Amino acid sequence: MSNHGTLESRVRNKELLKLVKTPEQCVEYFKDGMNVGMSGFTPVGYPKVVPVALCDHVEKNNLQGKLKLNLFIGASIGAEVEDRMATLDMIDRRWPYQTGKELGKAINSGKIRMGDKHLSMFAQDLKFGFFTKDSGGGLDLGVIEASAITENGDIILSGAVGCANEVIDIADKIIVEINTGLPSFEGMHDIFMTDVPPYRQIIPLTDAKQRIGTPWVPTDTSKIVAIVESKMPDNGRALRGTDPQAQAIADNIVDFFSVEVKAGRLPKNLLPLQSGVGSIANAVVGGLTTSPFEDLIVFTEVLQDTFLDFMDSGKCKYINCTSLSLSNEGFELWWKDFAKYKNMVLMRPQQISNNPEVIRRLGAIGMNTPLEFDIFAHANSTHAGGTRMLNGIGGSGDFERNAYISMMHCPSCRASKTDEFGISGVVPKVPHVDHTEHDIDVLVTEQGLADLRGMSPLDRAREIINKCAHPTYKDYLTDYLERGIKATGGHHEPQLLDECYNLHLNLAKNGTMRFWEK
């Protein structure tokens, strides 16, 4: 990609130009055991050249395991940074969400200590000093990718906000990467800084188009120790295409919205929409693009590829997010029509984009994909088999707990290595609970949609089995429920404790949940 201005033109506070350094010169700022915060959110807006130079230094000097950092980042970042750091044994603790293959391996082998947290809570708790309370509550170093620096020395971020504003606020020292290889994102951010109790104020956001902060992050320039030029593009996330299963789920959701509008429970242009990441989320947005609904607003975490078509169609009028999450092909389209999209997209800190107060006030509709859910509507989003960390809860809990309608969707059945019907998305009891029955209104699979609002647990269970379970598992789940009612004498949520995890145990042992198959 061609350059878009010089470093000198992007750094408008000329006093700071005396701090310009090479990536290699910044290695000296990193020490073993440091608490380091970085910008970035779902591989966009993260620092690239300084972390890569640090990795090169560790590899060249055989420092694997001898220079380990505690990393605090809004969400996942590029694999060329955090996966490589994991491979070089450079990470001790990592909060709160990740998608790296090598990073995941290190977490699940016990080499990296990961903590998982709702994204809105992570940002505020970082500022509260909870994660670094044993070392003063701050961060030793912040590494931030930026588009520019203002005349006053305030930082203008690039393609993500995440928790970069909190990192800038609490870090003792800051390294700023100015990315001149990308167009400037100046004007696309609305940075609302929160305080700590008892001085916190109401977040005065009543409309998704409303600006309540500044287009830059207020910055104490005395903390900036280095400015580095970068020309590296974001490492786009590969996009999984929509399959028939995902499309059927999307169709069920669009049909549900039509019913809600007709009943008067939703306005004709619905309410602000939140959509998680992945192929099902993309299919849902694609379904809305071809739906009869008009003048739609999005209030979500990340902007994925299908949101571009959504905006191009004229159906979507405005999008709030905290980051982009585009494929390489999506980035090509983004930059091609950047002038148009720049006026339709506003990026906020994750503490605002995922804030319970704001989600409830705006009446957002939450739509997220769990790994599985059970017959009483508890959902597992994070731990396969109840033990193996996948990515993290992300922001799904922020929305599921607080949305006007809280919806979760997943396939009713997935293939295992040995069985095309080996893994059921509906189970008697999830082995790990991220979202409780108290938070979820609607569950959806390609089989159908279960509207659980106003239902007792047993009514919910029958509705979930009837509407959402795959035919391969429906008879077993029905039999399990009825035996549970009989065995407990009709308890409020009957479970057979000696059997409730048989599906998961058999999957681990025999490669399929169908333990009744020989």
Question: Confidence band (pLDDT; 50, 70, 90) for 1?
Answer: very low
Question: Confidence band (pLDDT; 50, 70, 90) for 241?
Answer: low
Phi, psi of 122 (to 5 degrees): -60, -45
CATH number attached to the domain at 7-230: 3.40.1080.10
Judged by average pLDDT, the poorest of 237-241, 437-441, 477-481 is 237-241
Terminal-to-terminal C-alpha distance of the chain: 57
| Active-site pick, 145, 177, 301, 372 | 301
Provide the residue ranges of all domains of the chain, joining segments of one domain with +: 7-230, 244-417+425-471
DSSP letter (8 states) at residue 262: H
> Could you read off the pLDDT of 479-518 as tens digits, one per residue?
999 999 999 999 999 999 999 999 999 999 999 999 887 5
pLDDT above 90 for 470: yes
- Please report the pLDDT score of residue 239 as a whole number: 66
- Quote the CA–CA distance of 126 and 133 in Å, as a whole number: 10
- Please report the pLDDT score of residue 150 as a whole number: 98
- Please report the pLDDT score of residue 240 as a whole number: 66
- Quote the CA–CA distance of 446 and 467 in Å, as a whole number: 9
Q: Mind giving me the DSSP string for 7-43?
A: HHHHB--GGGGGGB--TGGGGGG--TT-EEEE--SSS
- Quote the CA–CA distance of 422 and 465 in Å, as a whole number: 17
CB atoms within 10 A of CB 509: 9
- Please report the pLDDT score of residue 487 as a whole number: 98
Q: Is 100 exposed, middle or buried (0-12, 13-18, 19+ CB in 10 A)?
A: buried
- Please report the pLDDT score of residue 412 as a whole number: 98
CB atoms within 10 A of CB 458: 18
- Please report the pLDDT score of residue 402 as a whole number: 98
Would you say 178 and 7 are in contact if contact means Cβ atoms under 8 Å apart? yes
- Please report the pLDDT score of residue 235 as a whole number: 84
- Quote the CA–CA distance of 52 and 50 in Å, as a whole number: 5
| Percentage of the chain modeled with pLDDT above 70 | 98
Alpha carbons within 13 A on the beta-carbon side of 386: 15
24 is an active site residue: no
- Please report the pLDDT score of residue 116 as a whole number: 93
> Could you read off the pLDDT of 249-284 as tens digits, one per residue?
999 999 999 999 999 999 999 999 999 888 888 888
Q: What architecture (CATH level 2) is domain 244-417+425-471?
A: 3-Layer(aba) Sandwich (3.40)
Partners of 451 in the β-ladder: 442
> Could you read off the pLDDT of 368-415 as tens digits, one per residue?
999 999 999 999 999 999 999 999 999 999 999 999 999 999 999 999
> Could you read off the pLDDT of 298-355 as tens digits, one per residue?
999 999 999 999 999 999 999 999 999 999 999 999 999 999 999 999 999 999 999 9
- Please report the pLDDT score of residue 136 as a whole number: 95
Phi, psi of 69 (to 5 degrees): -120, 155
Across the range 429-452, mean pLDDT stands at 98
- Please report the pLDDT score of residue 276 as a whole number: 87
Q: What is the mean pLDDT of the chain?
A: 96
Alpha carbons within 13 A on the beta-carbon side of 339: 0
- Please report the pLDDT score of residue 111 as a whole number: 97
pLDDT above 70 for 2: no
**Hey, what are 182's tokens?**
């990308």
Helix (H), strand (E) at residue 99: none
- Please report the pLDDT score of residue 518 as a whole number: 53
pLDDT above 60 for 159: yes
Can 7-230 and 244-417+425-471 be said to share one CATH topology? yes
Q: Mind giving me the DSSP string for 456-469?
A: -HHHHHHHHHHHHS
Phi, psi of 230 (to 5 degrees): -130, 145
> Could you read off the pLDDT of 26-39 as tens digits, one per residue?
999 999 999 999 99
